[in-house]
Structures are given as structure tokens and as C-alpha cells.
Structure 1
Amino acid sequence: MKNYLKFLILILFVSCGNEEKDSENLVEVNQITIGNHIERLASDEFLGRKPFTEGEVITVNYLKDEFEKLGLLPGNGNSYFQDVPMIEITGTPSEKMVISGKNGSFNLEFLKDFVAFTNKAVTDVSLENSELVFAGYGIVAPEYGWNDYEGIDWKGKTAVVLINDPGFKSSDSTLFKGNEMTYYGRWTYKYEEAARQGADGLIIIHDTEPASYGWNVIESGWSGARLIIESDLPLLNVESWISGESAKKMFDVSAMKGEDYKTLSRNKNFKPIPLDLKVSVDIKNKIKKDVSKNVVALIPGTNRKDEYIIYSAHWDHFGIGKTIEGDSIYNGAVDNASGTAGLLAIAEAFKKSNRTERSVVFIAVTGEEQGLLGSAFYAENPIFTPSKTVANINIDALDSPGKMKDLTITGYGQSEMDEYAKEAAEKQNRYIIPDPEAEKGYFFRSDHYNFAKIGIPALYASGAYEGIDKSIEEIKKYNDNYRMYIYHQPSDEYNPDTTELSGIQLDLQLFFNVGFKLSNEDYFPKWYDSSEFKAARK
């Protein structure tokens, strides 16, 4: 009898263990669902999904209807929507930016040589013979003993700065974070800091490698209407980029002619250098105040419904813009119809699983392409208590030529979400790696960043390095082609006959498996001690 009872207990133990293992893989994220939603969201019918357009109305209603069909509840009280008040500024810069000085003057052409815009909601802004001062990387970082603005009264002046930060390609791992971009390297930070310093304007010098995208992305993404969230923070009159070729012309007639300005900028003792040049440009704006929407849907938990797993993806893209090769609709199939479709496919899988002890939330956020605006608004106005939010799994720009051996984690080493991802990847016979292109700053370029800022451990990952059937070199060529010719271009379209969905499905299955595990346990993943976000969690 004792042996029989032991046998029954052993069988029960094994069964329970297998049940837990099998239940993670019991429900498959449906590849047909993924493809159908990408095809719809990236169709011309959705007009490029730009906020404040008819494309937004179509998109958010489509998402609301699809969540409702799946049986998900409204995530914001009785509503599937969270209103995000924004201001649309349609700026028309002067055709020329005039650079003048005693050693020569020249004009830069709009779009070809420069872009200019403002976040000030006023009808007219300008720089009129504003003194140009080179400010290195435009960084003030006390923890590194770094101040590129020191010693100058910036009122009435325009700073000229480099993109990225001093550690990029420096061969010095102790300089900032070495080749890994810090937030100081992002264009968003550079405009914020110049405004804090009291400057009138800022010019960022474009360089393809440290920016991680070509001038064509600046041309298409930084012209036309832009969206902002109202803020009491200081703002510049003019925010602008100039091409690398234009920067060379500028330095050739400046007080720094012949100087290696990139090397100078890496020196900890660098101080800003007046260029003996002035800049003039003006912008006329049309102002429109309106409300965009985050779409929020909820699967309530059974036992711990006040603890939440949040899946996020941005629904927006660039709408209708500059015509390229006869096409003016920026469909955004990869960026980010893929992630938005992923939300719906994962929601479908959760409903089929019919087992979530914690609540699972799906948020399709607005305004990511304009500076992570929808997730920033959510972070400032959270619907679900951040301290009770277990984790965020963010899905952005899934694309692959097939199934991948790797799972590349952007922001690897930040939190225990790495361990959850590793466990799920190993069950798919995959391995995890840190982002091999950390210098491109992807950690700061998608919506998980705003969840991290309020202390919520976040996972942002995808297969991106080595294919099961394709080599590392082939995958790199594939990714490089996307960034150069498809990213933020009208060519980011969906073709059901040529788009390979198997790699996307594999990633989404992993995200489901991670979320499923989190939703059926009582543990809260922690930030590692070295993470700058640990304090926010406390």
C-alpha cells in the first residue's frame, strides 16, 4: 500500500509538472491571425495610421472592435480608449537656412541640406543672426564629470552638436558606456538640454553611422506635421538637423577650420567654441489642438486581478507624406503593424488558454513615431498602479526572413526579465544575446523605455542576429537593407506572397509564453542592482 501511494504521488507530481510545461505551449499564437492583421493595418485603407487623421479613427476603432470580438474588457473603466491630448504643429520653414560669417556665407536648402521645426505652439518662430557655438556632443552629465555647455551665456545663441555620445567608436569602454549609447546620445535629450541651457536653437549634425539611419529618414520623418504633448518645460525656438556635407561647409568657413572637431569633442575638458558664424531661419506654423487615443483592453485575473502584465505596441506611423517612387502612403507594415497585430494575436492566445491568475493588459499606444508620446502620457497618467504592474512586454517592428536561432534583448542586463526570456528561448531551442548594436540606442527608441522610467521591468526583444536557415552575414545584409531602404519609407508595405511570418510567429509565441508564466505566478521580476531604473521601482 505504501509503495502504491508513493507511485500515485509520483504520477501526480509528474503530471502536474508536465501540465505546467505543456500549458505554456498548449496554445499557439496563430500565424494566420498575425498575417491577416498586418495586412489590414498596413493597407492603404488605414492611410498610414497617423494620429489626428482619418487614419487614426479607422485604426483605433479597428483595434477596439477586434479586442471586443475576442471578449476582452475595456481597459480604462468603461472605455477601450485613453485620451491623449496633443498639439499638432505643421511647420513650414523658410526654403533657405542662411549661414554667414566674415570668412564666407552660404545657404542651405530645406530637406536637401537641413530640416527645422519647433515644439513651441506659436504661429511664427525664427533665428535671426543667432550666434553659432559648437558644443561638442551637447551633454551635461555630472556623473561623468562632463559639461559641454560650461562657461557660456547661451541666451540668443544656437548650439551645434554631434549625434550619439563620446563613447561611440572611441575604443574606450570607460568613456560613458563605451560603444553602447546612453540616453545622452539621443536627439531627444540634446534638444531638451539645449533648452535647459537657455539657447535659442540647436543644430544636430547628421552622421549615418552614429545616428543609425540615413539622411532619407531625417528628410521623411522630420518634415510636415509634428505632434507634441503640452509641457511646462523650456523649449527651443528652433530645433534642426543639418547634413554631414553641410556641416563640413560650415566648419570650413568657421573659426574651427582645420580642427578635428570629433576628436576634440571626446575630451573631458572640452569647452564650447564660438564659430564666428551666424544662422538665420524662420518657421511659420499652423496649430491644431486635438486628442489622440491609446487603445487599452483587459483580461481580468482570476486570483490576483489587481496585479498586471502589460503588453504594449504602438499603432501609429507617418500617414501620407513625401512621395517617393510614386507612393506617398507610409504604410508601416513592419513598423509597427507587426507589433500591433502581435497584440491581437497574443490576446487571442490568452483567451484560448482561459487561465490567467493575474490580469493581462494590452495597450496600443499612439504617437511613438513623434517621440514615444502615447506611452509617455500613460507613464504620467497610469491606469494601472505601477507598483502593482508586474512587467511590460513591448513589441515593435518585428521582421525576419524566417525563424531565428537568437533572441536579441535590447537593454540586456537591466532586469530579471532576461531570465524569463532565456527560459522561454531555451524551450524553443534558441539562445539569447545582448543587442550587438547597442551604440544605436534602441533601448531609448521604443515604448518600453517609458514603462522602465516608472520602475516597471520591461522586455524588448526579437530574433535579429542568426537565422535557422540563414547565416549571421545574410541576416545582417537583410537588416541593413531594411534600415537603408524600408525603415520609415513608403516601401514598408506588406505582401502576403513574399512576407515570411514564421520568425514573427516564433517571437510572438515566446512573448506569450513569458507573459503566460508571469500571469500564473506570484513573483515580481526585479531590476538588477546596476540598473538606473531600480530606484524608480522602490
Structure 2
Amino acid sequence: MKKQVLSFLLLLSFVFSVSAQKAQTQKTDASERNLRTQVEYLASKKLEGRRTGETGATFAAGYIANLFANYKLKAGFSSVTGGKTNANFMQTFPFVTGVEMAETGNTFSLEVTKADGQKLTFTDKPAFKPVAFSPNAEIGNTEVVFVGYGIASDELKYDDYKNLNINGRIVVAFDGMPESDSPHSRFARFNQHAKALIAKEKGAIGLLLISRVANLENDRLAGLKYDQMLGEAALPTIIVSRKTGADILGTDEAGLKSEEEKLIALTKGAIGGTSSNKPLDSRAVASFKINLIKKQADAYNVVGILEGTDATLKNEAIIIGAHYDHLGRGGSGSLAVNSKEIHYGADDNASGVSAMLELARQFSREKKNKRTIIFIAFGGEEEGLLGSKFYINNPAFPISKTVAMINLDMVGRLKDEKLTIGGIGTASELKSLVETINPRSSVEATVGEDNIKVKTAVEEAFKREGFREIKVEVKDNKVILNGIVGKGLVVKAVNAASEAAKLPIKVQIYESQNVNPTSAEIAARVPFFLSLNEDGFGPSDHSSFYSKQIPVLFFFTGTHTDYHKPTDTAEKINYQGLLKITNYVSEIVKAIDGNPAKPTYAVAKSSGTTGGRMGFNVSLGTIPNYADNNNDGLLLDGVRDDSPAAKAGLKAGDKVVKLAGRDVRNATDYTFVLGEMKAGVEYEIEIVRGAERLTLKIVPAARK
């Protein structure tokens, strides 16, 4: 084979005058300082993790509002008091921070008749506590039936209710699972809500859960920690102490532990019946009252408006948004089990807020936008997109005139220039737009008659490095590679290509000798390796807008081991990368703004990645509304195109009230039932649509 020497030329030249270069450096430094300052404040101890409804989140909202005012943005809202109009950047929406036991109306009594006829009465108040998700109720003297762990599943061939008559009775079950609490356990989906739903289906009228810890006060369920997304349980539910549980079973705490160990042992082998079916050595009768009061707090969106300069286009708006809330000191949503440390949320999502604020500063200073730009910091995202759901129903600017929504969520950990953009299928122009604006370097090689072979070898080499967005073209006997990330990767990939093609390839890197560019300037010229996703739905605020048929773009640098943990801190943010993303988004917004034609809405291809907090074997293609907490069904924000839900005839606005023969009151019931369904099997789904109640047929698809 004829040997050839290929010269690869990496073009990283910068044509700046000395004064222009200095001005650009000063601008870059100022912007990066702003980003750092804002992230460090939002992710500081003072704000204590910015949990919605808590003081830290209110401080964060006020901080953002003050910056909007400094940037001379127009407040999104106004109110009239005493004939005077008051502008307000803050949009208030209601939020339930928790529940508490009312001073009266919470009682529990237990009467146990032993086998020898002896009667014992227990009314010790510390021995019980209603759980936060229990409905209020009053139940008179009712027989209590022990049901092991309270689990029944045809799929697992496991039934704690086998041969038991519990109709009209209260059931008592061990809390937790008969295996470890691993999320990968076959029993993982049988949480307290699932146990209440199963008990109701079996005919029970109340559920008692036996605590897993010796001191009831230390039980996580006794803390009345409220999670709005979970909704109410299907039955009145109380957590009782282990001593009370032992009393119900007619034994002591050692005997209770022995019974628990027997149940666990039975699950080690073949799944089947449990010892819960054995008659108790005593008869227990309980009565109780539950009277919980929901604690309300104000939560906030922060909205600033920069009016457009074009007489016509200013009547249309582009939204740039980012959620500012996080997880406070852990609890629901935290991946640091039982941690009460501050979850700082630097990447999630102080990074996105800082980028949004820097864009607000830049656009308000330039004042060249033709369309109106609305900057929104959303509250309640971690609680189920509450803030963005509230905004789309109570907008500062007509939703029908909103042409695009840009969402920045977790953009602070740029690594290897890899950036994910969602929503590129929500308008026909968006894919081309984000690719065209992506900064480009190129490598070029003259290869003669073997160019096709070299093209293939180089392309495969870059794919092996994990960069599948590389473009390799052949033109005029040259192989041209667009999208190279830098010297190190070029050398590595080209050496691999040389070996694969059995051709010697000489790598030559040329940089301009006219200037001495800073590392930030070099980084700014290096292109992103874009991972593009068409879907407009997803687990962040852009989903709310796409449900209203608004084109969206969602920017994300990827998850990491600090996600939803106290270790997501400000010093781990890649501020240079954050600035680069901010500038990239700025150019995209300018391109949308400068085009007289608005983006053309399109139904995007589904990624199939949304639909709940846990994985399932099947998918229906529904988009639940987690902000709806009426506990009268699951409200749908939409359905995915060509999904089982779409084929069944479901629509946005439908409320699912029954699925596969089981009642659905909220998202928690729905996800449990979904976990019990099988792909390819036809089920009935009952919905409420307006004043109608409809029964449809649906066939779940296997989850990819």
C-alpha cells in the first residue's frame, strides 16, 4: 500500500486587536464573577437548601427579585391597594408544607381479649400516631386482623391476605418489606400507600402499621413529613409502636420480632403464602379518630419582563426559566438516606438560576430584543413542577403569545464539552438552530485516493471515544472533521484511526501567533458535543409549557454522584463551562428573537423517559400532573404521540380514576397499579372527561 502523510490542521485562530481582546477578557471575567457570586449565595448555608415553603426559599426569591429590579426589568405582576398600583416580581402560589395533629380529635384505644378470656385495655397516646398522608376519619370499635406485611401480588404469587376475611375490619401489618429496603427488591413498590390501597380493595376500613424502630418517636412516619406529590392514602392509616403491635398479636416484643423473622424466612425461598394466615392467640378491637390539619405556606415564582423593541414582535414573548428551589435538609427526594444535612443544590439548580440571571443582565443592558423576553425563577419544581404549572394557568403574558420556552436546569457540571439539549423536536427549526450556533473548530486532511478509508477510520475512532455527534465529510480529496474538542482528543483519536487504517497520520496543531488567547477564550471556541433529544416532556419545568403546545429547549450537563445529596456544593461548579453555556443560550435566544417567524410547533418524538420516580417494565405514555392534589383521580397534562395512551384515546385534561380494575386517586396509586401491569395485555382504564365518565381499553407497551 502506498504510504501517505496526512496533515491535520486544528483551526483555533482568534483575530482580535489588542484593545478588543482586552475588552472581551474583561467582559468574560465580569460575567464569570457574576455567575460565581450568585451560585455561592444561592447554595450557601444561609439559604438552608431552599426548600419550597421554607425561609431559605423565600430569601432566594427575594434575592432574585432584587436583581431583576437592579436590571430594570418590569415586574411581572401588580396589585391595587388603596387606589395605588404596586408592582411585584413575586407571584404567590399556595403550598402545603406539612401536616400537624389538631389539639383535639386524635384518639386511639385498643382492647385485647386473650385466649384465656382476660381483657386488656390500652389508651396510651404515645403508642400511636397518624401518618401525614392519612385521610381524616373516625372508626368505632372494630376487629383488628393481622396481615403480615400487608402485601398481595398476583405477579409475585404472594398473598398475605390468603384465606382471611377482613371485610369491614381494620388490618394491622408490619411496615416495610419482608426483604431489605433496597429499591431493587421485588417488593420495592409496596410502600405504605400501596398497602393501604390493597387493604381497601380487600374490604378493610383502616390500616395500622407496626413501626420498625423501638421508639415510635424516631420512626420516620411519626414525624408527619408531608409530600404533596404522594397524595392521600386510600385508607385512614396509623403507625403504632412495636409494643402496641405485640399487644394486638397477644404477645410481647420478643414474640413480635420472632413473628417478623418467620415472615422474612418464608420469602427466602419460593414466593408463596406467609404465616400471617395463622389465627391470633387473642382478639383485638380498636377504635380511633384522626384529625390532621394541613399547614399552608406561600411559595413564589419570580417574574421579570424585558419588553421588546419591535412594534409588532413585542406582542410575542420568549421565556427563559430556571427553578430556584431545592431539597432543604433532605427528606423526600433526597438520595442521602436519612440525612438531615443541608442539601445545597449548587448544580440543581443554582447553576441554572445564575445563568438565567446573567442572561437577564446582558439582555436588559443591550435592549436590542425585538420580542418581549420574560425571565422566570420557578418555585416548587422539586415538589412536582408546582411553580411552572401555576404560571401557565396564571401567566404574566398571554400563553398563546409565548413562542418559546428556554429551561436551564443543572448546567453547572460541563465535562468534556458534553451538553444535553432536550426539546429539539418541539419546533421544526430547533435542531438546525442549536447545531448551527454551536461553536466550531475544524480539522482538515489531504488524503488523495484513500480518503474514504481514512474517513471511515477517523469516524469510528471518534465514536469509540464516545463522541457520536462528530461530522466527517469528504470534499475535494479532503477529509473534514467538524466539532473537534481539542488537541489531546485529536491526537488520541487520530492515532487510533491511523492504526485502524494502517496509514501513517501526522498530526499538526497550528495556533495563531498574532495573539495569546486566554484559556477561557480557547474554551469558548471549542464546540459542545451535543446530545440532542427531541422530547418536549421531561422532569423539569419546560414540560409544563410543552403541555400547552409551546416549543421548548432544555439545557442540562448531566447527572452526577452529588445529585440530590448534601455534596452538591458551589466549589464543584465548572464556572467557565457555565459561562460558555450561558453565552451559547444567549445566541440561541437572539436567533429566535431575530426571526420574524416564530418557531413552528411540532409534536416531538417521545424519549420514553418520564412517568414517575421509579422504573417500570411497562409504559402507557401518559404525562401526569403532579401538582393536582385533589385525590379524586390522576389528572393528565398530556399523552405521548403514538403511545398506548394515545391509541386508547386518552387526552390532556382527562382524569384517570380507575386502571386495571383498581381505584386511582392520585399519582401514587397510579404508579403502583402501573407496576403490576404487563406489556401486551389489554386492560380497562376509566377516566373522567368533563362531565362524562368513560371506560377505554389500553394495552401497555414494554418499556425500552
Q: Same fold (TM over 0.5)?
A: yes
Which residue pairs with 1:134 in the alignment? 153
Higher helix proportion, which one?
1
User: Residue 365 of structure 1: CA displacement?
Assistant: 0.9
Shift of 1:64: 0.5
Q: In 2 relative to 1, CA 235–455 (structure 1 residues): closer, same or farther, beyond 3 Å?
A: farther
What's the offset of the Cα at 1:292? 0.9
Whether the 8 Å CA contact 1:301–1:357 is kept in 2: the answer is: yes
1:402-441 to 2 correspondences below 5 Å: 402=415, 404-410=416-422, 413-416=425-428, 417-426=430-439, 429-434=527-532
- Pair 1:290-2:297 in alignment: yes
- Higher Cα Rg, which structure: 2
User: Identity of counterpart residues, as a percentage?
Assistant: 24
Q: Which residue of 526, 529, 533 corresponds with 2:601?
A: 526
**Is the contact made by 1:89 and 1:226 (CA closer than 8 Å) also made in structure 2?**
yes
Listed as ranges, the matches of 1:261-272 within 5 Å are none
Q: How does 1:348-367 map to 2 (within 5 A)?
A: 348-367=361-380
Distance 1:448 1:119, change over 3 A: farther
Give the structure 1 partner of residue 400 of structure 2. Answer: 387
Q: Does 1:494 align with 2:578?
A: no
Deviation at 1:415, TM superposition (A): 3.9
Q: Indicate the residue corresponding to 1:80 in structure 2.
A: 89
Q: CA deviation at 1:391?
A: 1.1
Summarize the alignment of residues 140-179 of structure 1 with structure 2, pairs less than 5 Å apart.
none
DSSP 3-state at the match of 2:151: strand
Report the counterpart of residue 228 of structure 1 in structure 2: 228
Distance in 1 (alpha carbons) for counterparts of 2:89 and 2:319: 15
Distance in structure 1 (CA, Å) of the matches to 2:542 and 2:43: 23
| Native 8 Å contact 1:320 1:330 kept in 2 | yes
Q: Which residue of 1 aligns with 2:545?
A: 451
Other-structure match for 1:397: 410
Q: Which residue of 1 aligns with 2:36?
A: 35
Give the whole-Å Cα distance in 1 for the aligned partners of 2:398 and 2:603.
Answer: 21
What is the distance in 1 between the residues matched to 2:295 and 2:353? 27
C-alpha spacing 1:405/1:299, structure 2 compared with 1 (3 Å)? same
Partner of 2:321: 312
How far off is 1:87 after superposition?
1.5
The structural deviation recorded for 1:83 is: 1.2
Q: Which amino acid aligns with 2:46?
A: E
Match of 1:345 among 344, 358, 361: 358
TM-score, with normalisation over the residues of structure 2?
0.45
Unaligned runs of 5+ residues in structure 2 are 1-26, 79-86, 102-129, 157-166, 178-183, 208-218, 238-260, 278-288, 441-525, 607-638, 642-650, 653-704
Contact 1:86 1:227 in 2 (8 A): no
Letter in 2 for 1:453: S
SS of the residue aligned with 2:316? strand
Structure 1, residues 236-270: CA drift from partner, whole Å, max 9, x if none? 4589xxxxxxxxx99966799636xxxxxxxxxxx
Distance of 2:137 and 2:37 partners within structure 1 = 43
Structure 1 position 56 matched with structure 2 position 57: yes
* Cα separation, 2, equivalents of 1:318 and 1:516: 33
Report the Cα offset of residue 305 of structure 1. Answer: 2.0
Flag the structure with more relative contact order, 1 or 2, with Cα contacts below 8 A and sequence separation at least 6. Answer: 1
Deviations 1:121-175 (A, max 9, x none): 75999x98675233769xxxxxxxxxxxxxxx9x9999x99xxxxxx9xxxxxxx
Other structure's SS at 1:370 match: coil
Structure 2 vs 1, CA of residues 448 and 401 (structure 1 numbering), >3 Å: closer, same or farther? closer
Secondary structure of the 2:582 match is helix
Aligned CA distance change for structure 1 residues 459 and 284 (closer, same or farther; 3 Å):
farther
Query: Which secondary structure state, in structure 1, belongs to the residue aligned with residue 347 of structure 2?
Result: helix
Shift of 1:327: 7.4
Separation in 2, partners of 1:330, 1:317: 7
Matches within 5 A, 1:467-482: 482=560
C-alpha distance in 1, partners of 2:588/2:146?
Answer: 56
Shift of the alpha carbon at 1:356?
Answer: 0.8
Counterparts of 2:602 and 2:547, CA distance in 1 = 12
> Is the 2:58–2:299 contact (alpha carbons within 8 Å) kept by the matching residues of 1?
no
Q: CA deviation at 1:408?
A: 1.6
* Aligned match for 1:89, one of 98, 102, 113: 98
Kindly indicate whether the alpha-carbon contact (under 8 Å) linking 1:89 and 1:288 is maintained by their aligned counterparts in 2. yes
Whether the 8 Å contact between 1:34 and 1:345 is mirrored in structure 2 is yes
What amino acid is aligned across from residue 409 of structure 1 in structure 2? I
Q: For structure 1, which segment, 388-397 or 27-36, has the greater mean C-alpha deviation from structure 2 after superposition?
A: 27-36
CA contact (8 A) 1:123 1:285 kept: no
- CA-CA distance at 1:31 after TM superposition: 1.5
What pairs up with 1:510-525 in 2 under 5 angstroms? 510-521=584-595, 522-525=597-600
| Distance in 2 between residues matched to 1:524 and 1:250, nearest whole Å | 63
Q: 1:252 to 1:329 in 2, by over 3 A?
A: closer
Determine the C-alpha separation between the residues in 2 that align with 1:390 and 1:135: 48
Residue in 2 aligned with 1:258?
270
| Helix, strand or coil at the partner of 1:319 | coil
Q: Return closer, same or farther for 1:331/1:463 CA change in 2, 3 Å cut-off.
A: closer
Q: Retained in 2: the 8 A contact 1:119–1:236?
A: no
> 1:235: how far off?
5.9
Q: Which runs of 5+ in 1 are unaligned?
A: 1-26, 93-115, 138-152, 162-167, 169-185, 203-218, 240-248, 260-272, 465-478
Q: Which amino acid aligns with 1:504?
A: L
Deviation of the 1:431 alpha carbon: 3.6
